[in-house]
Structures are given as C-alpha cells and as structure tokens.
Amino acid sequence: MTRKQWLLSGFVAFTCLVSTAAVSGPIENYTPVTAQRLENPEPGNWMLYRRTYDGQGYSPLDQINASNVKNLTPVWTFATGVVEGHEAPPIVNNGVMFVATPMGQVIALNAKTGDEYWRYKRQLPDDLFQLHPTSRGVGLWEDKLYLATTDDHVVALDAKTGKVVWDTKVQDYRKGQYMTLMPLIVDGKVIVGGSGGEFGVRGYVAAYDAKDGKELWRTFTIPGEGEPGHDTWHGDDWKNGGGSAWMTGNYDKETKTIYWGVGNAAPWPGETHPGDNLYTSSVLALDPNTGKIKTYHQYHQNDSWDWDEVDAPMLIDLQRDGRNIKSLIHPGRDAIFWVLERTPTKINYVAGWPFVSTDVWKGIEPESGRPIVDPAHKPVIGKRVEFCPSLWGGKDWPSAAYSQKTGLVYVPANENFCGGFTGEKVALKPGELWLGTKPEDIGLKAKSGADHFGELQAWDPATGKKVWQHNFPKSQLFGSVTATAGDLVFVGGTNDRNFRAFNAKTGELLWEQKTNSGIMGMPVSYEIDGTQYIAIQSGWGVDAQRIQDALATNNIGIEANVPQGGVVWVFALKK
C-alpha cells in the first residue's frame, strides 16, 4: 500500500462526547506544552520519555540525595486496576500526572495528592493478539496528549478532560502490527514506530500532525526497491524483513535529527534472509520534518539472535581520547557497549566492548565498528545452536541512564543467561508469529554455577572503564534506570518487588522499598511546591515474567511467582 493510500484509508477522525457528573476534574489549570518547554524542560517536570530529548534519564533535582534518601517514604499510591507489565514513566506537567497502563488505559492524576481527574479506557478488539500487552507512556503537546495503542492506532486526548480529540489507524493489528511505545513529540509532530517484528512486518517510523492526526510521513526501516540499502536484502526478503521500531527515539535539537533504534530482522535465523539487512539492528538518523534518513549505523549485521536494538542511543557530550565527541551511547542487546559519534552527515564508530560475557562476537573491526561473528554461535536451519547472552541480550529495552554529575552511564544488564533454538523455515501467515523456530524450542539457560544474574553497572563512557557493579544473586534486572543530581540511581526490575536507590558514585545500596508487584517501569522525579517526588509504576509481566518463568524451570531455587497488578507509587522525604 502506498503512503497516499494509507493517508486516505488509515485516517479516522471522529468525536466522542461524554457527559459526566464530575466529582474530581476536569483539570482547571493546565500548562500547555510548547517546543521550548520540551527542549528545555523545567527541572521539576518529566514530560518526555527520558525527561529530556537527549534520552539521558537524568533529573537535575537534588533535594533527595545520597545523605537523606534513607528517609524516602511513600506519600501516595494508586491502583491502576489492570495486570501485566506496567512499563510507562508517569509523565508530569506542572502538578498533573498522566499514567499509561496495559490494555490501553490512561489515568490523569493530581501529582501531589494522587486524586484522579479522569480516566480513558480504550476498548481493545476481542480478537487482538497481544504479544506485549503494555504501554510505555503518553506524549504531550500543547493541551493534548497522545497514546499509541496495541491495536495500532494513535489517539489524541484532551489533557484537561481525557476526551478523544482524534484517533488515527496506523496499520492493521490483524496482520501483527501493534504499538507499545510512548510517542515522541517534536514541533507538533507525533512520531511513532511500529512493533511486530515477530510477525514478519516491514518496520517503519511515522509522524502525525498533533492537531488533527493526519499522517505527515512514513519511513520504512527496510528499504524498498530503488532505495539505498535495498541491495543488502536478497529477493523479496525485505517485504517481511522485520526491523520494527517499537521504542521512543531521541532528538538532537541542535541539528534537528531524530535518532531511532531499529529492531532485528525477521524471521530470526539469518540464513533465511542473507545479507546485512539494513536497517535492522541499527540506529537511524531521521529528519523530523520529512522522515528522510540522513544517515545510520548498523550495530550488527544479519541478526540471528532476536537482538533488536530498539532502545535509542543517549546523546552525551564526551571528552574522549583528547577530543570532544558528540556521542551516541548504546549498551546493546548484542552485549556490546557502543560509543558512536554523531555528525550532521554521518555516524562514526568510536569504540565498543562487551559489557556482559558473550560467545557470539570474536571482535569488532576497528574502522567500521562491524562485529566479527563466531559462526559456531549463530543460529542456523535444522540444528540447535546455543549462544550467550540469551535472546533477551545483555540489556533489553529497559533504558540506561547518564548522570551529568558523575559522568557515568548506568546499565540494567543481565549476565549468566544463555539461549538457543533450532532454526526452521516456516511459511509466513499474516497475523501469526513468524520466528523461524518453534516457540516451544526457545531456551534460556542459567550458566552452571552462576552466582548472580542481574547487574546494575556503572560505566565511564569516556574511558571505557567499569566504575562499579551491583549484583542481584537471585533475579534478573529488567527495569529502566533513572539518575538524579542528588547522586542517586533509582531502579526496580527485580523479582523481589523492591524499588531501590544506589549511590551514583559508589554503587552502595542506600534505600529499598518493597512494592505490590515487580517493577518494570521507569522511575521519574518531579517537584511540586518545593517538594521533590520520585514516582514509579509497579506491575510485573511481559518479558520480565517470561524470564522469571525460565528461571523457575532452571532448578536454581527461584520461584516463578511474582504477583501482578499495577500500582503507581510516589515517594518523598519524611517530614
């Protein structure tokens, strides 16, 4: 289908009127979100996925610090009413919090009291195949907010009332297209990317007009005939080549460039799609106005391990090897900590090293940054192949963070897991899983004698040195990290339901709080009336649960049961 056809057939504008006897809400005073506010957000707000366009996941607030964090205590909680993985950061704009949950729900709350203003609940189709039932948040622009849904629509809501302003169908969920990401908002454009690599889709990034939901551009991550990079595909493999782009991109406001992570090739065994397979397992540099690909870097070629590299690289100014580098930092699912240099026209490889043990790579070509594959650990058709790390990689989608105070990058990593599967040729059926292996044949094994699994790592990207590491003996680490100017690093992600704060300089565990469920969500920090708050959604599910199930069947004394159910937790210092 052409882009024009999509514009004609995919756009649905409508109005839903709801009359209610309001007790709380609508929101009386809402601060419109502007380009200037998103580019230079007030320290007390968290309006983007990682708070700032550079994706650093860093709050400049320091009222809560390494000295007093032991006094952190819950000030309010709010049950979302749904189970499954609650992965979204609570988004905060001048006292109003927006929480996205699985099953297409958005809740507007008073960020100081936890009182509900309004709730939006999408009616998802009964026949929806929800491989990843989650949402990673809502984007803000002017007086609206934007939700990407698992049935593949983008929805605009009135921020004050929760009423639907527009609703645009992006693609057909029946064909395995879906979205779970938080839209990136740049200058009135709502930019999203599609999920569905497991269904043999052709990935894309697309932009919609924030005012009316009209599609402005769509850029496929798999180049079609006549497009640069198409020759890295064989035959018609590109048509269902994967390359989904299911995480929010970051944005360089100086050069007006979006950096968007792209997923792996489909189906999994590289033998079924020979070639480098651009732009899978890559980062794309896109023009937000046109969607034009300015340049790219492929982290690894011909992916065969399900290692999609969708977590967008952080934009960090580094001094390295005696020069200033405008870097892109990406601890990859492929186990390599990537340091790249972004220029207006090119992305240069600077350095890369394994941050967890891997047997897949023999090294990295020094000029190109192209990793060298050990064929003994690359899955093939008709034979079981084992590889390390597991198919969840060294670090999956949960985001790392960067502290502007310590200069360190904090990585939620997993060590001592390996995986494997037997590749097979399978005919594609639209809307059905297309992995290139039997799902029941996928294995995750704990290394014999492993004394821990999750690792919170602190790396100096300027030197390539690991500064500290905290090990989790009986759990994976599957949650995003947030750093603050209070020299703190916050993370959940473990199967014991704890939310933790570490000393950003030393790695010392300073505080922990047991929550209702396991935490996959992203910690945020905000300020109201002079009080700093830390907020997180607790709610276990999706891939954290899958790893948990695998741990439980490895006979290493770890139970499968982690309770589910979403709750927003908000903390402040005891007064």
Are the C-beta atoms of residues 148 and 154 closer than 8 Å to each other? Answer: yes
Closest Cα to residue 118, out of 156, 158, 149? 158
Complex with other proteins: residue 281 or 517, whichever CB lies closer: 517
- Which residue bears the tokens 């989650």? 134
Are the C-beta atoms of residues 97 and 91 closer than 8 Å to each other? Answer: yes
CB of 483 to other proteins, least distance (A): 32
- E strand or H helix at 337, and its extent? strand 336-342
Are the C-beta atoms of residues 114 and 71 closer than 8 Å to each other? Answer: no
Complex with other proteins: residue 14 or 448, whichever CB lies closer: 14
Active-site residue, selected from the candidate residues 152, 306, 308, 311: 306
CB of 91 to other proteins, least distance (A): 19
Question: 99 exposed, middle or buried (CB, 10 Å; 0-12, 13-18, 19+)?
Answer: buried
> What gap in Å lies between CA 105 and CA 3, rounded to an integer?
29
CA distances from 247 to 137, 162, 304, 493 (A): 11, 24, 20, 18
CB of 538 to other proteins, least distance (A): 16
> What gap in Å lies between CA 480 and CA 494, rounded to an integer?
11
Are the C-beta atoms of residues 64 and 71 closer than 8 Å to each other? Answer: no
- Which residue bears the tokens 């640069």? 228
Q: Which two tokens stand for residue 510?
A: 């300073």
Q: Which two tokens stand for residue 484?
A: 């603050």
Complex with other proteins: residue 509 or 560, whichever CB lies closer: 560
Q: Which residues bind other proteins (CB under 8 A)?
A: 9, 12-25, 81-84, 103-105, 116-131, 133, 151, 153, 155, 162-164, 167, 169, 172-174, 431-433, 438-440, 442, 541-542, 545-546, 549, 552-553, 560, 564
CB of 115 to other proteins, least distance (A): 8
- φ and ψ at 55, to 5 degrees? 75, 20
> What gap in Å lies between CA 511 and CA 501, rounded to an integer?
5
CB of 119 to other proteins, least distance (A): 5
Complex with other proteins: residue 210 or 442, whichever CB lies closer: 442
- Which residue bears the tokens 């990682």? 50
Does the N-terminal peptide bond of residue 26 adopt cis geometry, omega within 30 degrees of 0? Answer: yes
Complex with other proteins: residue 174 or 405, whichever CB lies closer: 174
Complex with other proteins: residue 439 or 557, whichever CB lies closer: 439
> What gap in Å lies between CA 400 and CA 312, rounded to an integer?
10
Active site includes 396? no
CB of 27 to other proteins, least distance (A): 12
> What gap in Å lies between CA 500 and CA 512, rounded to an integer?
4
Q: What DSSP character marks residue 94?
A: T
CB of 14 to other proteins, least distance (A): 3
Complex with other proteins: residue 225 or 440, whichever CB lies closer: 440
Q: What DSSP character marks residue 335?
A: S
Complex with other proteins: residue 69 or 391, whichever CB lies closer: 391
> What gap in Å lies between CA 381 and CA 393, rounded to an integer?
21
Are the C-beta atoms of residues 213 and 10 closer than 8 Å to each other? Answer: no
Kindly give the pairing relationship between strand 144-148 and strand 139-141.
antiparallel
Closest Cα to residue 416, out of 462, 450, 384, 382? 450
Kindly give the pairing relationship between strand 282-286 and strand 293-298.
antiparallel
Radius of gyration of the chain (CA): 22
- Helix ranges (DSSP H) in 23-139: 35-39
CB of 114 to other proteins, least distance (A): 12
Closest Cα to residue 192, out of 155, 240, 230, 164? 155
CB of 565 to other proteins, least distance (A): 11
CB of 439 to other proteins, least distance (A): 4
Are the C-beta atoms of residues 484 and 550 closer than 8 Å to each other? Answer: no
Find the angle CA(11)-CA(13)-CA(16) to the nearest 5 degrees.
145
Complex with other proteins: residue 177 or 399, whichever CB lies closer: 177
**Which of the residues are catalytic?**
306
